[in-house]
Structure 1
Amino acid sequence: MAQIDPNEVADPAVLARIVEGRFDDPFAVLGPHQRGSMRHVTAFDPGAIEMAAMVGGKAHPLNPVEGCPGLFHGKVPGAEPYLLRGRRDGEEWLVEDAYRFGPVLGELDEYLLGEGRHQRLWQALGAHVIEHQGTRGTHFAVWAPNARRVSLVGDFNAWDGRRHVMRRRGATGVWEIFMPDLGEGTAYKYEILGAYGGLAQKADPVGFGAQHPPATASVVREIAGYGWSDGGWMGTRAEAQRIDRPISIYEVHLGSWRRKDGGRPISYREAAVELVEYARGMGFTHIELLPISEYPFDGSWGYQPVGLFAPTIRFGPPHEFRDLVNAAHKAGLGVILDWVPGHFPTDPHGLVQFDGTALYEHADPREGFHQDWNTLIYNYGRSEVMNYLTSNALYWLREYHVDGLRVDAVASMLYRDYSRAEGQWVPNKDGGRENYEAIAMLQEMNRLTYGEEPGIMTVAEESTSYPRVSRPVHEGGLGFGFKWNMGWMNDTLDYIKREPIHRKHHHHQMTFGLHYAFSENFILSISHDEVVHGKGSMLAKMPGSEWEKFANLRAYYGFMWGHPGKKLLFMGQEFAQGSEWNHDAEIDWACIGNPLHYGMQLLVRDLNAIYCATPALYARDCDGAGFQWIEANDAAHSIYAWVRRGGPGDPEVVVVCNFTPVERSGWRMGFPQAGLWREVLNTDAEVYGGAGRGNLGRISALPGESHGQPAHAELVLPPLSTLIFIKDDKT
């Protein structure tokens, strides 16, 4: 077959760059182009030595271009769609020509992407299975503004970046291509010729699926068309997640909650049955999952994500994650995801130097490198990066009906000098340490999510005294719904781990939290971080003999559930697992066969039931009018007592704690009202593994002042115990 002079096709220098995979505007040359009344087709396939355009079963040969191996050109009459037929060494293949299809992204998408204000970023970028110009296929789009060229690669083109160079969309920095015949399950990456000439294959930052690690490619997933049946929950969610409602959260690492078939993690669909039934049976109101955005390293527990838009394949594909959320909602449980916008790992297939430049991260390591975790910090001041993160938050809430996001490591985002020595950080424009750009991103995330998805909740893991974390943005706050109370957790754990004889010297570690308990909407969290990295299990933290360890922990949980604030326990803590959490194995379910562990599990179940049924224990969790000390200063006996109040007409609650191993009989205690008070919970009850000492289920408070209260009663305070009394509304 005669070869064509390159000058008849295009500038020979351009053709040479196409062959070498260095040309950034392939649609200007490849595909169909009208010249006068005749359509000309140029195709590039480095694996072919013959090429023809097939129209209606008829072959129209394309001639090889001289000096340009794999490049073919010829006339193809008519305007009907064509297929490309390639041949080599007796082998023949028939494919659609990706370069015959026009753009998919519209002008509005292009404008919003260019501005960095596309709230539905995932609807424009990523891989979408669609029908385009009458053909079924997948549209791919990625932001890489400084790249010299971007190609789509996969098994479909032998991972050859020369074959499917994408279309640059003007000044937006976005590249796109429609690939006919590709669909669900296709593995792919973007091959990027970087700004300074380096070549890298990258996973899709907005990909909806990924290969199972250690494989690193993205996977096309159809995320539309799921048949949700959770309308009942979604219609009442806003009521269930208000600050005056009971919220008790079961924090779960799916990879180690249950193991199946000799060691594999539970799947999303299995969790939709087993985890949901267990959490509901235990009386929790919410399940919180450690991060499920795709991550390369199991040992990060998901806190170093690479694919922010992809539910990890470790437990199943996206629709099966939806099965878990749907099942939880039908059982009346909310689902919260841990979300990680604070940093990302340096894995080469991820966001690092994405287009050959510091695109998502700061270039200056004093701003862009996390010394604690050897990770990279997002450049929050870049509008496209802020857009990427805020739209990702909305994505999980909208596409997966998730009810809330717990934002990881907020303190590390708020301060430029977080965990940095002098000279290792860059001050803000005013010379201070606050990270204005990260603050703006968090505020925008909260504005967007609360505005677009009413009834959701966002939670900050924030360990400093930064003000107004859980106050609205328009009032100068960060806009979160809740904040983890890290100070309360640190103080109370430090107290309870001490031998009782020494507790009198640290008495106010247990009361100090009330000085700021209502400054934020707090969640009292005993999370995974407290039972890992040598910290031991909750049970192992407790002092004394085996019986004393269990009694201490039971009393502590009673203290926690009686204290103002929503509740959170990490899996295994509810039955006092003896060993530290190991992410590579399931939690120690077998220990429930021991009556003491089983008793602890029953206690947490009953604490949740009492909490959810008693407005005085939750309605004013975030309101100082709902709390009053009865006894806060008895350090000598390590005794604490307080009143909890709900709304008008709600029975009052009195909580009394004895944190010494000494029984106190005939102990005079003030009560806010005279009359009968039911002892609705006693952590020393035999059913929980205690000795059964107490007040026979009720006490009678008599008129007469004590502890500043108008009534009093003489109590039996079992050793290392918490008692909860509710006013009998019949008296």
Structure 2
Amino acid sequence: MKVLPALEDLRAYREGVFYGGAEIFGAHYIDDEFRFLVYAPRAKEISVVGEWNQWTPGAHPMVPIEHGYYCTFIPEAEEGQLYKYHILGENGQEVWKTDPYAKKIRWGQESPGILYRTKDFPWEAKVDLGENLSIYEVHLGSWRKKEGGEYLSYQELAHSLLPYVEDLGYNAIELLPITEHPYDGSWGYQQSGYYAITSRHGDPWDFKYFVEEAHRRGIAVFLDWVPCHFITDAPGLSYFDGSALYESDFWEDAYNPQWDTMNFDFGRRHVRNFLIGNLIFLWKEYGIDGIRVDAVAHMLFRKEDSKEIDRHSLEFLKELTAELKGKILLFAEDSSDHEGVTKPLMQGGLGFDYKWNMGWMNDTLRYFKMDGFSKSQHHNLLTFPMVYAFSEKFLLPLSHDEVVHMKGSLLSKMRGSYEEQFSQLRLLHLYQYSMPGKKLLFMGGEFGQFAEWNAFTTLDWNLLDFYSHLGVQTFVRDLNLLYHKKPALHDNDENWQGFSWIDVDNTQQNFIAFKRIDLEGKSVVILLNFSSKDLFEHRVNLEPGTYRVLLNSDGEEYGGKGRGSFGPLEAKDHIMVGLAPYSGMILEVLHD
């Protein structure tokens, strides 16, 4: 007896709420044969074509079983064989489409599905995330490659990338999109298969191994997720059944000229079920710990320069967070000033856990590119982010977007001599780690990659043969260790009780000082010199006590010259401290 999907599930997928599409759609091995199920309501005819029938349209026709749904059973089909849907549209259009629910796809321009029998994985390790969230952002295809230029497998990455991340002190890794995409140059943001982990690095089992190994090392795995738009390539979702199915019927709403892609139509119930079901699938099937929702601003404000929020996008985002909040961490990459992104749904917010602080990132990098005089004139770029720092729960990103498209690497953004560039890069890292907000750094920034990121090559690992680069890496490692060790740097990020200015308006010396305070009232002191000049015997007003230096960014072990204060500093009502050019330090008071 053939096993058919429940009609109530099919109707709920089309008209209501049904997130379990991965369990019924696509190719499933049932009773010694593969069952195929697809939703294509405006198709006239559909057949499954593949290697077993020499890609012959009509050889294995699909039968309509409910309005818009087509199903068939093929005993000849075998695991590992390639397949597609051959669809005849209502106006006679002939299209060859990749299965939207394919669990495995051969990457490339044609992107055929690969018949795959899902296997249970022996999950064991779990990871517990606290407030000390420190994320290493990675593009798997260009982190490292084999000698011949081939991609590393998921298992090879598990035994090379993950030990590296653990050694540097990161407790989370964020992967640029790794669901299937045909073109390397899209970095994964233009996708052909939402339910298929890219086969560039292996099969689904291999990726599960990668996630398990990450968890075993105490590293959470976050995925970059792209629900805004999809590729226009012929095998993809665009005009899937010969007409608009995942996009709007209206071209001006469907087409996205910014990325030459198609926008999802969030007003359609099956689109919401497809996407939210996709997140649930990635969480349950692969054990991921969080996702970054890409291009939230573009979703909320579909028209360029529009101030009007797209109602369907807003409803979709709220539905998404209502379903996933508390199960995985939800990050919003939102460059707009829309309020309440991380506010709970019950309070009228969007319900995300964290919002990327794009304003902080833009202001910070703009400031670091300036000469000393310009910095004095734009001191507010350092201080203004604190005006809105607690309006949302923020993550401070130094991401991939800032080191591509002729923007240069983090190191190359810095002015001055070779030595001054490295000093400023260390200072940038210290500034990021000392400010309220969770942390994210894109690969290469941790050792001072000179060239901007190129997705077709690999990082310049030979730079670690030079002490300046090795010093930056050592500094980032020590920053992470201190960040995790000192609650004042991470556990009171969301209100003014965790932050206090000491010196905020020193525009002449390009200097700021502040305290970070933990939930028990213990504090650390942050001193940052953004100028090209030494600060000798610089007065900083502090409470009485003996202060020790926890970290000095000009330390010789970091590639600096060992200048500034390192020993204990006595204060009755102030300390006199030395800071090297482009350097900073973290102090704490010694208690009896």
Q: 1:394 to 1:674 in 2, by over 3 A?
A: same
1:113 Cα deviation after fit: 2.5
Residue 463 of structure 1 is matched in structure 2 by 335
- Aligned match for 1:170, one of 50, 56, 66: 66
Q: Report the CA distance shift for 1:183/1:118 in structure 2 as closer, same or farther (over 3 A).
A: farther
Alignment partner of 2:109: what SS? coil
The yes-or-no answer on 1:502 pairing with 2:374 is yes
State the partner residue of 1:201: 96
Report SS of the residue matched to 1:517.
Answer: coil
- 1:365 positional shift: 2.5
CA–CA distance in structure 1, aligned partners of residues 587 and 25 of structure 2: 56
Equivalent residues in 2 for 1:423-442 (5 A)?
433-442=308-317
Q: 1:545: Cα distance to partner?
A: 0.4
Aligned partner of 1:692 in structure 2 is: 562
For the residues of structure 2 that align with 1:471 and 1:411, how far apart are their CA atoms? 16
Counterpart in 1 of 2:405?
Answer: 533
Query: Within 5 Å, which residues of 2 pair with 1:111-260?
Result: 111-131=11-31, 136-171=32-67, 173-230=68-125, 232-233=126-127, 237=128, 240-241=129-130, 245-260=131-146
Corresponding letter in the other structure for 1:687: E
**SS at 2:548 equivalent:** strand
- 1:103 is displaced (CA, Å) by 4.6
Indicate which of 390, 414, 422 corresponds to 1:542. Answer: 414
Q: Letter of the 2:164 partner, please give it.
A: Y
1:318 paired to 2:189: no
- The answer to whether 1:579 aligns with 2:468 is no
Q: Deviations over 1:37-90 (max 9, x none)?
A: xxxxxxxxxxxxxxxxxxxxxxxxxxxxxxxxxxxxxxxxxxxxxxxxxxxxxx
What is the alpha-carbon distance in structure 2 between the residues aligned to residue 116 and residue 344 of structure 1? 23
Q: Counterpart of 2:262?
A: 376
Normalising by the residue count of structure 2, what TM-score does the alignment of the two structures yield? 0.98
Offset of 1:116 from its aligned partner? Answer: 4.0
Question: Residue 567 of structure 2 aligns to which amino acid in structure 1?
Answer: G
1:199 and 1:567 mapped to 2: Cα distance? 49
Q: Give the AA of the match of 1:543.
A: R
Query: Match for residue 288 of structure 1?
Result: 174
Distance of aligned partners of 1:690 and 1:363 in 2 relative to their CA distance in 1, 3 Å threshold = same
| Matched residue type, 1:729 | H
SS of aligned partner of 2:159: helix
| Cα drift, residue 126 of structure 1 | 1.5
494-503 or 530-539, larger mean C-alpha shift = 494-503
Residues of 2 paired with 1:247 and 1:479: CA distance? 19
Deviation digits for residues 670-712 of structure 1, max 9, x if unmatched? 22x321222111101011111101222321222x3xxxxxxx1
State how far apart, in whole Å, the 1-side matches of 2:344 and 2:24 are: 30
Partner Cα separation in structure 2 for residue 262 and residue 157 of structure 1: 36
**Gaps (5+ residues) in structure 1?**
1-100, 421-431, 705-711
1:718 matched residue in structure 2: 580
SS state at 1:372 partner: coil
Deviations 1:144-193 (A, max 9, x none): 0111111111011121121111121222x221112224342121101111
For residues 636-670 of structure 1, give each alpha carbon's deviation from its aligned partner in whole angstroms, at most 9, with x where no partner exists.
00000001011115x31110100111111111102
Cα offset for 1:200? 0.7
Counterpart position of 1:429: none
**Residue equivalent to 2:321:** 446
Aligned to 2:227: 341
Equivalent position to 2:477, from 583, 594, 605: 605
- Aligned mates of 1:503, 1:545 — CA distance in 2: 17
Q: Which moved more, 1:676-685 or 1:248-257?
A: 676-685
Provide structure 2 residue ranges, at least 5 long, that are not aligned to the other structure.
none
In 2, the alpha carbon distance for the partners of 1:475 and 1:140 equals: 43
Question: 2:107·2:180 contact (CA, 8 Å) conserved in 1?
Answer: no
Which of 242, 245, 253 in structure 2 is aligned with 1:356? 242
Secondary structure of the 1:123 match is helix
Check whether the contact 2:7–2:66 (CA below 8 A) recurs between aligned residues. Answer: no
1:515-563 per-residue CA deviation (whole Å, 9 max, x = no partner) reads 0011111110010010001000111100000001111111111111101
Q: Is the 8 A contact 1:110 1:169 kept in 2?
A: no
Find the aligned partners of 1:511 and 1:556 in 2 and give their Cα distance. Answer: 14
More RCO (CA 8 Å, sep 6+) = 2
CA distance in structure 1 between the aligned counterparts of 2:591 and 2:332, rounded to whole angstroms:
38
Is contact 1:221-1:318 (8 Å) kept? no
TM-score of the aligned structures, taking structure 1 as reference length = 0.79
By how many angstroms is 1:367 displaced?
1.2
- Using the alignment, how far apart are the partners of 1:298 and 1:544 within structure 2? 35
Using the TM superposition, give the Cα deviation of residue 281 of structure 1 relative to its aligned residue in structure 2, in angstroms.
0.3
Q: Which amino acid aligns with 2:80?
A: G
**Contact 1:103 1:177 (8 Å CA) reproduced:** no
Q: Distance in 2 between matches of 1:365 and 1:646?
A: 53
Q: Does 1:668 align with 2:539?
A: yes
Question: What do residues 606-637 of structure 1 show as CA deviations (whole Å, max 9, x unaligned)?
Answer: 10100011100000122221011111100000
Query: 2:590 maps to what in 1?
Result: 728
Structure with the greater alpha carbon radius of gyration = 1
**2:224–2:294 contact (8 Å) kept in structure 1:** yes
Structure 1 runs, 4 residues or longer, greater than 4 Å off: none
Who is 1:3 aligned against? none
Deviation string, structure 1 residues 553-601 (Cα, Å, up to 9, x no partner): 1111111110111010000000010111111111011001110000000
Q: Provide the C-alpha distance between the structure 2 equivalents of 1:137 and 1:419, rounded to a whole number of angstroms.
A: 52
Amino acid at match of 2:111: T
Do the aligned residues in 2 keep the contact of 1:345 with 1:375 (CA within 8 Å)?
Answer: yes
Task: Report the counterpart of residue 91 of structure 1 in structure 2.
Answer: none
Query: In 1, distance between residues paired with 2:264 and 2:465?
Result: 47
Question: How high is the sequence identity, in percent, across the aligned residues?
Answer: 40
Equivalent residue, structure 1, for 2:547:
677
Alpha-carbon distance in structure 2 between the residues aligned to 1:185 and 1:117: 32
* Equivalent pair of 2:420/2:582 in contact (CA under 8 Å): yes
2:498 aligned partner, one-letter code: G
- Are the counterparts in 2 of residues 104 and 178 from structure 1 also a CA contact under 8 Å? no
Give the counterpart letter for 1:692 in structure 2.
G
> Aligned partners of 2:576 and 2:478: how far apart in 1?
25
Provide the aligned length of Structure 1 versus Structure 2.
592
CA contact (8 A) 2:426 2:583 kept: yes
- Cα displacement (A) at 1:102: 3.2
3-state DSSP class of the match of 1:493?
Answer: helix
CA distance in 1, matches of 2:202, 2:567: 49
Counterpart position of 1:523 = 395
CA distance in 1, matches of 2:305, 2:231: 18
Q: Cα offset for 1:455? A: 4.5
Q: Please give the per-residue CA displacement for 1:312-354, whole angstroms capped at 9, x wherever unaligned.
A: 0001111101111000000000000000001011000001110
In the alignment, which residue of structure 2 is the partner of 1:400? Answer: 286
Q: Distance in 1 between matches of 2:590 and 2:376?
A: 33
- Equivalent in the alignment of 1:411: 297
CA contact (8 A) 2:110 2:235 kept: no
SS of 1:148's partner is strand
